[in-house]
Structure 1
Amino acid sequence: MASVTMPDQPTVAVDLYGPAGRSLWLDIDWRQHQRWVEVAGRPVNVIDIGPGPDAGAAHGTIVWIHGLSGSWQNWLENLPVLAAAGWRCIAMDLPGFGASPMPAEKISITGYAGIVDELLRGLGVTRAVVVGNSMGGFVGAEIALRFPTWVDRLVLVSPAGLTIESQRNVYRAARLTANITAASAGWLASRADSAVRRPRLRKQLLAIVAAHPGRLPAPLAAEQLRGSGKPGFVPALDALTSYPIRDRLPEITVPTLVVWGTKDPLIPVRDAWEFGKLIPGSRVVVYEETGHVAMLERPVAFNALVEEFLED
């Protein structure tokens, strides 16, 4: 199999695609970890799992930021594992996505970064690791630039926002998704569980982000579809395609891990190496036969990689 490599940064082959055995998230009553936090005058849906500050968290806090058309459920395979390892894990639905209503102000990358900052302050968090996927990676990079004093480390999973070509690819694919979800969002929301039980339909619905969507478990796939068709989609799409960040990436000073997949259908894998070159001292890991959501496609390897990076 041909793979995209750099001389000193080979890609990584992982045998297991998708979760191993029964996923931990299936046995969690997520209502016990859900809360509403008012940020900038609007409620934000937040999941807060793991030992809190009063319980003596073994390590610290990780904040997880989903991508365009996503929701906190994008991190289902990761939150229970890192929480069990002693981390307080905070994931939210960004305003305009998931269960969170639209923000009072126009959606922007800087606005989302400010919302995450205010949210964490409201939860009593003074330092945190930031993990973001796609648009969430773009927001994570902006957070590391604007609020470096409280960012311990940064993990970027197929982050958006670099090359013009990448942004156009995201734009075209996202516009296609918008057309689909605008017409079928209600149907998907009410019938996601039954729809994903059909491998062919599951493949069609998730092929825009996953390399092998038919191999992902139906319950996990269903949870990903619930975040589609939300009102923040188009405004956030416009925000991420119109906000330049390339020239500022060398200003990131925190330890950074960049994770990608060789078969990312949205953003070309060459952007992984570009992020690695632009962010000083960053580490790049690229998984073979993996798409845009490595945290869901390679959860066992991804979780181990993140734990290793955080303990290094």
Structure 2
Amino acid sequence: MPVASDAFLPGYVRFSAAKRSVPDPTQIQASDDVALETLHVPGPDPPFVFIHGGLGSLWNPYPQLHGFAGERELVTYSLAGNGNSSNRPTQSVDGHVTDLRNLLDELNIDRPLLHGHSYGTAIAIEYAKQHPTSGLVLHGGGDYDLTPAWEKPLLRLFLALRLYNFPSNKALMRRLAYSVGTHEDTPQAVIEDFLESNPMPHKRSAWTTVTDAFWGYDGRDDMDHIECPTLVIHGPADGIVPLDVARNTAGRVPDSVFCRLERTGHIGMIERPATYNALLRAVTTTVETGQPLVDAVEDTTKEE
């Protein structure tokens, strides 16, 4: 159980403040069928593009949006079927990859620096196999075994009974965050702040996005097609995706570094944002200077 503390760590930026520091999201037509709720912050290349996970929110990387605004071009968006994005006619990982490519075409972004979280790692991985990518960051996920054993019966129950329509479904997200999503040292104030950025969705399509697109994902084939520097970050307290999934994923990418981020679980970008942002800057250093990623990460670790 996370520590019973209402105190935020020094330097922590609350979701409400981070949200005020960036523009409001807008709708961008990615195709005839799909309009995506998108937050775009102009800035220098290479742009960071954030892909949230199942039942997630475009606001999930709020410490990164605040930390990199003005320093880097930023894009975060709601997957089709989630948030204020329209639904896809059919749900699939390949469909979400197509949506992302179309969105980036609309924003004139050619070689993104992709950040995939949880189920969003599947989209980031498949995109990087198919399209030019400057760099890749994977957190809380990997290229296979992303569905915990308890998830399928739980989501089937919610869909069958339409429990997503009830306000009480917020209790589920809170219970998951405390029981399997975070490290025991993460203050309650931080977890509650994260939950403000990630309310449980009431749209049925957000739930079927998970069941129809991501269940059974196995991207282990063709991982050597990823030709960009790749940082795989995973928290040892992640009770959703096993640590070995992330470690093994890193082992299949030619230019990759695995980083075990201590004192974090499934949302390390929220639990230790200063360290997490420093790791992202290590990736940009590699992209911009050609310094080997392992050296850039080691330099970051020494500074921490």
TM-score (norm 1): 0.78
Deviations 1:9-46 (A, max 9, x none): xxxxxxxx975445164234378331110112222100
- 1:94 is matched with which residue? 79
Are the equivalent residues in 2 in contact too, given 1:18–1:217 (CA < 8 A)? no
Cα offset for 1:244? 2.6
Aligned match of 2:182 in 203, 210, 213? 210
1:139 and 2:139 equivalent?
no
CA spacing shift, 1:25–1:167, aligned 2, 3 Å: closer
Distance in 2 between the 1:228 and 1:274 partners?
A: 35
Aligned match of 1:173 in 107, 128, 151? 151
1:63 and 2:61 equivalent?
no
- 1:76 is matched with which residue? 62
CA spacing shift, 1:93–1:230, aligned 2, 3 Å: farther
Distance in 1 between the 2:200 and 2:216 partners?
A: 27
Cα offset for 1:101? 2.1
Deviations 1:119-143 (A, max 9, x none): 0101121221010101111100000
CA spacing shift, 1:203–1:77, aligned 2, 3 Å: same
Cα offset for 1:236? 2.9
Are the equivalent residues in 2 in contact too, given 1:273–1:284 (CA < 8 A)? yes
- 1:14 is matched with which residue? none
SS in structure 2 at match of 1:36: strand
Cα offset for 1:172? 2.7
Distance in 2 between the 1:298 and 1:218 partners?
A: 15
Structure 2 unaligned residues grouped into runs of 5+ = 1-6, 287-304
CA spacing shift, 1:220–1:100, aligned 2, 3 Å: same
Distance in 2 between the 1:20 and 1:227 partners?
A: 31
Alignment of 1:95-174 (within 5 A): 95-104=80-89, 106-147=90-131, 149=132, 151-162=133-144, 166-169=145-148, 172-173=150-151
- 1:11 is matched with which residue? none
Cα offset for 1:281? 2.1
Deviations 1:247-288 (A, max 9, x none): 221221111000001111111101122012111120110122
1:247 and 2:203 equivalent?
no
Amino acid at match of 2:113: V
Structure 1 unaligned residues grouped into runs of 5+ = 1-16, 196-200
CA spacing shift, 1:35–1:70, aligned 2, 3 Å: same
Distance in 1 between the 2:9 and 2:63 partners?
A: 7
1:23 and 2:23 equivalent?
no
| Number of residue pairs matched by the alignment | 273
- 1:44 is matched with which residue? 36
SS in structure 1 at match of 2:259: strand
Cα offset for 1:100? 1.1
Are the equivalent residues in 2 in contact too, given 1:161–1:240 (CA < 8 A)? no
SS in structure 2 at match of 1:90: strand
- 2:281 is matched with which residue? 307
Q: Percent identity?
A: 22
Are the equivalent residues in 2 in contact too, given 1:37–1:45 (CA < 8 A)? yes
